[in-house]
Structure 1
C-alpha cells in the first residue's frame, strides 16, 4: 500500500486566487534603453591636406634619441593627415616605427631631429 503525500496548493502570487492559473508567458523584460543617436559630423570640418613627404629617406643611428614628426595617412582614421611631434623617440638598432594610437596603423615619418645632448636614462 503506497501512500502519496498530500500537497497544499499555494497561490502563485499574493493576488492570485484559487482556481486562477498564472499566465504561460513570462512578464516582459525591461532591457537597456536604446542608445541615443550620435550627432552627425559637421560638414564644414574638412580633413587637412596631406603634408609633403620628406625630400630624402630618413636614416637613424642605432641607440640614439630623436624628436620625430609623423602623420597618419589611414583614410578611415580620425587623425587622417594630422601631424604629431614626439619629443623623445629611441632608435633601437637604427629602426623607428610610429604607430597611430587611434587606428593602430603605421604613421609615415616626415622629419627626425637627433637630440643634442642625448638623454641619459640609466
Structure 2
C-alpha cells in the first residue's frame, strides 16, 4: 500500500485540510502518516485515518525522516510557509536532504502536493493492474 506523510506549518494547516478534503477519495486508499497537530486536524476535518507521529517541534518530522531512511514512505507533502515560519515549526532542510538521498518525492506547496498525490495514485493503480 502506498504510504504518504503529511506535514504543514501552522499557517498552512488550512491549506492542507483543503488538499486532503479535495483528494479524500484518493488518500483513503493510502496509508497516511502525519505530524501530531496536522494529523489531528486531518482526522477531525476529513474522513481519513492517520498514524500520528509527534508534533513537529518535538521531533515528528525527524520520525518521518526515519521512515524515509527505512524505505517505508513513498512520498511527503510538507506544506511549508516560507514567509512566516515560526522557530518552533519543523525545518524542511534535513527532510529535503534525506528525501533527495533516498529518491522520495517531497512537495512543499499545494500544487506540487497535488502532483505527488495524483502520481502516487497512478503508480498504485498500475501496481494493482500488474498483480
Normalized per residue, which structure has more helix? 2
Q: State which structure, 1 or 2, has the greater radius of gyration over its C-alpha atoms.
A: 1
Normalized per residue, which structure has more strand? 1
